Amino acid sequence: MEGLGNLPPPSNDPVRQYMIDHAGQIDKLSFKASILPVITGVFCGVAVVAALVRLVARAMRRRTLYRDDYLVLFAVLSLGAATGVLYHWCDALFLVQAMSMEGFIPTRTEIMPILNTMKWVYIYVALTWSCIFAIKLAFFSFFHPLLLGMARKFLIYYWFAVIFTICCWILFLLQPLIPCRNFGLDAVNTCYRNPSLAKNMAPSIVAAVLDIITDAMKTSIKDNEPNEPSYDPKLTGFRLLPIPDDSYSVCVHLDALRSNNQTGKLDRKRIELALFNMGLDLALTEDFWNLSYVILMFLTRATKDQDIIQVQHYELAQHLYKPLVYKALKSR
């Protein structure tokens, strides 16, 4: 830290302050008055409220939280922390931009925020990408229970997409170190004095491309699914394709029902309770026919008490469901 004592004392020079306030493409006043509170604050608040409402609704309906819920919660915490870091780091952003302007010399009070810039850059980028990739992984986790009985090639693709997404997440956590590997005073001398546009933009461009690729892989998990549901008699579970997002808890109910069925029998109360819980989800589901088909298939295959529910199945299939479902059940 030798030589820092030779820096000029704090100054209220309006010309110098104007240089700082207009060092970026957006001036400091507009950024703090519009970008931070209106765009960043409002959208962050909406995202946090929506995610918390989702978590509360699922906790009340399922009586527990699952892996995808915890990933969403982690994303919310990361988003809130990243927004707080941005508010805290706002003034230092413009000081760092002013460092590249000719004739600008930081004062003694300004040098420490500048020296700490790389630390806050790393924290902010890590939190932001953690939020984004936690949501991506929550999507993968959301569809994981539906992979039972899927083709081996599709399973390989699914796990490749998951591993590739995690690797991209790790790469993005290291992104700030690519244009500048130094911290403190060394970062000021090597990174801020003569910034390279190509060196700074290249990691951002690569990150944007990989972000799009991982989004496409995430979306393709559902888009590549077959159009018709199928069932493997060798499995004690089920397959449901395609399936909308809101009906995930239906699969949870079915899977829990199957897991608790150690004797191979299901009593009437358990069946009625499962149908009631799943009915709550069916009311919110667009793909009603496929879901009802799975419920009927599961109950006819997962229990030996056929006499308890078989008549009810035919009545429901005949009066409420598509003729195709009725024929499929009757043929079995």
Residue 319 has pLDDT above 70, yes or no: no
**Domain count of the fold of the chain:** 2
Same structural domain, 40 and 82:
yes
Q: How far apart are CA 144 and CA 43, in angstroms?
A: 29
Residue 162: what pLDDT? 93
Instruction: Look at residues 223, 254, 273 and tell me which one is the last residue of a structural domain.
Output: 223
Same structural domain, 257 and 210:
no
Q: How far apart are CA 41 and CA 86, in angstroms?
A: 10
Q: How far apart are CA 15 and CA 237, in angstroms?
A: 72
Residue 326: what pLDDT? 41
Same structural domain, 145 and 261:
no
Same structural domain, 89 and 137:
yes
How many CA atoms are closer than 13 Å to the CA of 128, on its beta-carbon side? 17
- Sign, CA dihedral 50-56-61-64, equals positive
Residue 5: what pLDDT? 58
Residue 135 has pLDDT above 80, yes or no: yes
| Residue 302 in domain | yes
Instruction: Look at residues 223, 253, 272 and tell me which one is the last residue of a structural domain.
Output: 223
Q: What is the mean pLDDT of residues 241-257?
A: 42
Same structural domain, 249 and 219:
no
Whether the ω angle into residue 242 lies within 30 degrees of 0, i.e. cis, is: yes
32 Cβ neighbours under 8 A, 6+ residues apart: 90
- Number of Cβ atoms within 10 Å of the Cβ of 63: 8
Q: Which tens digit of pLDDT belongs to each residue from 9-68? A: 666 777 777 777 776 677 777 777 777 777 777 788 888 888 888 888 878 877 778 888
230 conformational bin, left if phi > 0, alpha if psi -120 to 50, beta if neither: beta
Query: Domain range for residue 153?
Result: 4-223
Same structural domain, 167 and 260:
no
Q: Whole-model pTM?
A: 0.59
Same structural domain, 217 and 161:
yes
